[in-house]
A and B are shown apart, each in its own frame.
Chain A
Amino acid sequence: MIQYINRLLFLAFFIAGLNSSAQDYYRMRADFTIKIKRAEGQSNLTKGTIYYDKYAKELIYDISFPSKEKWVVQDSRIYKIKSGETYFTEEIPSVNEFTVFHLALNSSLEYFGLKEANFAVDKVEKKGDLVISYWKIPMQIQKMISNIALAKKGNQLHSVVIMGKNNQIINRQFFKDYIKIDGFEFPGTIVQIFYEENQQENYQVMEFENIVLNDTENDSEYHYELER
């Protein structure tokens, strides 16, 4: 009988453990700072707070610098709003599901979303403490991107290298300073280096802090009611 109770208790703890590790993270907000340094010398600094809900699929940038404004990305349209007035809108490819926010909330960042998108691994190798995987690129986009290589350190995405024509590197991305909140992980810093044809480097650094998950008390922040 005692053995039976022990088994039941073990089963109960096991199921509880499964539930806690499979917690659904569906909404996040974070303070961001984006620094851009172009090869030709100009720079850009943008600061603010992002709000994203993976079910609403609405991405809101509440910008505090260089000026106070909001960028709202709903489906395949972006709206730029100042003082409550939309001053710019245009149709864009639907990008919200491809953002680092959506990937992290779906625990898909580890493989940069490629695994879930049914990209196939071509080759895997170990170099130092990095496990590097090379991914097959669908024919349709090989004119733009010839290869993608991902490097993982432990279970975390460490870097991504994207190659263009003749396997020339066009973009390198580095994910670091991971912020861990229970089972959720998000890179505190993302460094990107874009290469021009003459191999000059453009830098972009995205920094995130003060992450809040599943915020249920501020629903209105995650949806912007546009004036139609």
Chain B
Amino acid sequence: MKKFILKSASIILAISLLSAQNYSIYARDITTATPELDESVFNYDEAELNDALSELNDLDNYLESNTDATFESLSEQESDLITNIESTASPMGMSGQDSEPPLGIPSFLWGCVFGILGLLVVYIATDNDKEEAKKAMWGCLAGTAVSVVIYVIAFAAVESSN
């Protein structure tokens, strides 16, 4: 049963990935009517695509002649080429994204606001994603540092008033 469910999930993912499919169940009678598609659906507007990808093409051209460049090195150079470009890899395309932080709230904030508990939530919810956990840890440290500073200032204020 588990195998059947996994196979079903596989084909849905695979088709959406581009990566096609092997579904071990024979096609059965269909209930959905077969559509009639216009020929234009099977083609796309090349100019529109190139326009949409122009920033990516510029970055790609730069990387062709600077093969050792990484996102980090471009970021250090404050390069315009990475404006609006994500820093994470996505070799499996749009379907193979990194896990989202819990509730869509940045992991740093989870750690910063909820401390160790936030760090734990991030680690569990992202299925042990160490990168996200690291962000939460930095948040946790930042939150702790801010708390210490506030405590020291408050303590100093109370002491001076006495």
Contacts and interface: CB of A to CB of B under 8 A. Distances in A.
Contacts of B17: 95, 98-99
Interface string B94-132: 100011000000000000000000000000000111110
A190 B18 contact: yes
B127 A116 contact: no
A93 B22 contact: no
Interface string B73-112: 0000000000011111111111000110000000000000
A102 B19 CA distance: 9
Given A34-B91, A120-B27, A145-B12, A203 B53 contact: yes
Nearest to B54: A37
Interface string A122-161: 1100011010101111111110111111010000001101
A172 B38 CA distance: 13
Contact of B86 (A44, A47, A148): A44
Interface of A: 32-38, 41-48, 50, 61, 63-69, 71, 76, 87-90, 92-95, 97-100, 102-103, 108-109, 112-114, 116-120, 122-123, 127-128, 130, 132, 134-142, 144-149, 151, 158-159, 161-163, 167, 169-174, 190-194, 201-206
A138 B27 CA distance: 5
Nearest to A67: B70
Contacts of B131: 87-88
Q: Which of A94, A95, A193 neighbours the largest number of chain B CB atoms within 10 Å of its CB?
A: A95
Contacts of A103: 19-20
A204 B8 contact: no
B25 interface: yes
A42 B84 contact: yes
A43 B84 contact: yes
B144 interface: no
- By size class, the interface of chain B is 35 or more
A122 B128 contact: no
Contacts of B130: 87-88
Contacts of A65: 63, 69-71, 89
A112 B21 contact: yes
Interface in B41-63: 41-44, 49, 52-53, 55-57, 59-60, 63
B29 to A, nearest CB: 8
Given A46-B90, A142-B30, A203-B49, A161 B20 contact: no
B35 A71 contact: no
B158 interface: no
B8 to A, nearest CB: 6
B72 A67 contact: yes
B60 A130 contact: no
A22 B69 CA distance: 42
Given A45-B60, A87-B131, A193 B44 contact: yes
Nearest to B70: A67
A117 B89 CA distance: 31
Given A88-B131, A132-B42, A204-B93, A98 B25 contact: no
Contacts of B94: 36, 38, 192, 194, 202, 204
A118 B91 contact: no
A96 to B, nearest CB: 9
Nearest to A120: B27
Contacts of A149: 35, 37, 41-42
29 contacts: A32-B91, A34-B93, A42-B84, A43-B55, A50-B91, A61-B91, A69-B89, A90-B99, A93-B14, A95-B17, A98-B13, A98-B19, A113-B21, A113-B22, A117-B23, A117-B24, A118-B23, A118-B25, A118-B27, A120-B27, A132-B37, A137-B32, A138-B28, A151-B42, A170-B16, A171-B16, A174-B43, A204-B18, A204-B93
